[in-house]
Structure 1
Amino acid sequence: MNKQKLLVKALAGSKNLRFTEAVALAKAFGYRLSRTRGSHHIFVHPRVKELINLQEVGGKAKPYQVRQLLDIVERYNLTLETGDEP
């Protein structure tokens, strides 16, 4: 799925987003995986001091964590990076 479609899917409802899609969306906004501890995948962004924590539960991302990602994207005016499709 391309980056724009992932964003539309996340904005439509964060309850149906797969964990792999949430990770791809975070990376599309410039986040990179910093570390993993247990089920916690911590992502960092060079321009944002706030960390993103994503967890997988039954193949899906936790809805509140997807909402946190979208809130940070809006607060910092992050844009989708151009390039190859995920």
Structure 2
Amino acid sequence: MLGLGNGLCSVRRHVGRIRRTWERVINGEADANLDFDDVITLLMALGFRQRVRGSHHALMRPKLDRPLTLQRAGNKAKPYQVRQVRAVILAYNLDLEV
């Protein structure tokens, strides 16, 4: 029983982190200070599929005109790419279903 409880806690923490990342992207908070892996995890939670070639992460989703392409800036996402992510989320009215 203990293992199940710890697993649920981990899932809640993960969902909470995705929700916080979504809020920071939508609100335009700290575009230059968002963790790259958090942005990728957010996009995956929004239904994107990822293809990695070298340093380029192409994220595709049905009905999207073209893929989003992201690259790391150290462990952070590049600010202009976070703005592109925000524009896509708002243009396609994407929301988390978690």
What is the TM-score with the length of structure 1 in the denominator? Answer: 0.83
More helix by share: 2
- Which runs of 5 or more structure 2 residues have no equivalent in the other structure? 1-13
Distance 1:81 1:75 in 2: 17
What is the TM-score with the length of structure 2 in the denominator? Answer: 0.74
The structure number with the bigger radius of gyration is 2
Whose RCO is larger (CA < 8 A, sep 6+)? 1
Matched, 1:64 2:75: no
Give the Å deviation of 1:45. 0.5
Matched, 1:8 2:54: no
CA contact (8 A) 1:30 1:45 kept: yes
More strand by share: 1
Structure 1 stretches of at least 4 aligned residues deviating more than 3 Å after TM superposition: none
- Which runs of 5 or more structure 1 residues have no equivalent in the other structure? none
User: CA RMSD for the aligned pairs?
Assistant: 1.4
